[in-house]
């Protein structure tokens, strides 16, 4: 029996962690459902929504654009280096366009927004909780989730697809610049190959992913901000947890959506 004690302890710890993870998933699901239901209940705080659009969308454009530009250039170099082994260098324009629009554009854009926005939202709402500003909203008969969560989640869901679309264009342009300057492609031929092989669904699927990722990022930021602990350490832990959860969920959701959109 003593020999089984460590094994039982390990299984007990594993079971505890699994139950904790399931409980967390349940709480997040209920939080998301409540957020969506508030969309159909007046009033709607347009000022908070506009501020969230500026913070999440407009101010995230530089980092998303720079990430997409360098990613497109690096992708062109990598595809050319790999294609040259099989005398298939001409596939560079088409693969860059498809890779950016289907995968790299929405995923990297979502991760950049997660790093910037999830942490900011969690820290802002967590600080409001610590300083009892959320309690003040309740005393003023204003539901905290309707005032703080809904505008941010809606802004993220609508803004990130726009960021992904702009990032797609910049990423393809980065591949084009590298292609004609470093890899000596003909500019007209590069553009022709990009347009011929890129389909509408490639772009639309990336924008749908962007909407899902924007929802995930802002939801995680709001959830962990609302449930942050007291004090500076509690806010710090909530901020870190929001970024980690948003990043992992983006990668998981990307696989699920890719399976749905492009499975044979």
* Tens-place pLDDT, residues 16-73: 788 888 888 888 889 889 989 988 888 888 999 999 999 998 999 999 999 999 999 9
Element (H, E) at 135: helix 133-139
Kindly give, in sequence order, each residue whose CB lies less than 8 Å from that of residue 57, ignoring residues fewer than 6 positions away. Answer: 155, 158, 159, 160, 162, 163
User: Is this prediction's pTM over 0.85?
Assistant: yes
- 175 touches 76 (CB < 8 A): yes
DSSP string, 110-132: HHHHIIIIIHHHHHHHHHHHHTT
What angle do the packed helices 200-226 and 119-130 form, to 10 degrees?
Answer: 20
| pLDDT tier, 2 (very low <50, low <70, confident <90, very high otherwise) | low
Kindly give, in sequence order, each residue whose CB lies less than 8 Å from that of residue 95, ignoring residues fewer than 6 positions away. Answer: 75, 79
Q: Give 169-212 pLDDT, tens digit per residue.
A: 999 999 999 999 988 888 888 898 888 888 899 999 999 999 99
Q: What is the pLDDT of residue 252?
A: 95
Q: Where are the domains of the chain?
A: 45-262
260 token code pair: 């749905």
Q: Give 132-165 pLDDT, tens digit per residue.
A: 888 888 888 888 889 899 999 999 999 999 999 9
**C-alpha torsion angle, residues 208, 209, 214, 219 (rounded to 10):** 110
Q: What is the pLDDT of residue 208?
A: 95
- 90 touches 190 (CB < 8 A): no
Computed over every residue of the chain, the mean pLDDT equals 88
239: exposed, middle or buried (C-beta count within 10 Å: 0-12, 13-18, 19+)? buried
CA distance 96 to 78: 10
CA distance 42 to 206: 32
| pLDDT tier, 229 (very low <50, low <70, confident <90, very high otherwise) | confident
């Amino acid at each position: 029996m003593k020999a089984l004690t460590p094994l039982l302890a390990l299984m007990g710890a594993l079971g505890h962690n699994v139950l904790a993870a399931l409980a967390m998933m349940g709480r997040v699901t209920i939080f998301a459902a409540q957020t969506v239901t508030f969309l159909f209940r007046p009033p709607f705080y347009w000022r908070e929504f506009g501020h969230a659009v500026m913070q999440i969308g407009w101010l995230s454009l530089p980092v998303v654009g720079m990430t997409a530009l360098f990613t497109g250039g690096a992708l062109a170099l990598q595809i050319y280096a790999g294609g040259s082994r099989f005398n298939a260098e001409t596939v560079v324009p088409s693969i860059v366009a498809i890779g950016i629009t289907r995968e790299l554009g929405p995923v990297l854009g979502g991760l950049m927004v997660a790093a910037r926005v999830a942490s900011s939202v969690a820290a802002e709402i967590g600080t409001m909780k610590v300083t009892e500003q959320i309690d003040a909203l309740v005393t003023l008969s204003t539901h905290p989730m309707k005032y703080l969560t809904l505008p941010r989640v809606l802004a993220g869901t609508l803004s990130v697809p726009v960021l992904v679309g702009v990032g797609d264009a910049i990423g393809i342009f980065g591949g084009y610049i590298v292609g004609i300057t470093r890899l000596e492609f003909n500019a007209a031929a590069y553009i022709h190959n990009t347009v011929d092989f890129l389909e509408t669904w490639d772009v639309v699927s990336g924008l749908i992913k962007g909407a899902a990722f924007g929802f995930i990022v802002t939801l995680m930021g709001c959830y962990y901000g609302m449930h942050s602990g007291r004090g500076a350490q509690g806010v710090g832990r909530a901020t870190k947890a929001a970024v980690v959860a948003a990043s992992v969920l983006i990668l998981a959701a990307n696989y699920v959506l890719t399976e749905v959109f492009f499975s044979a």
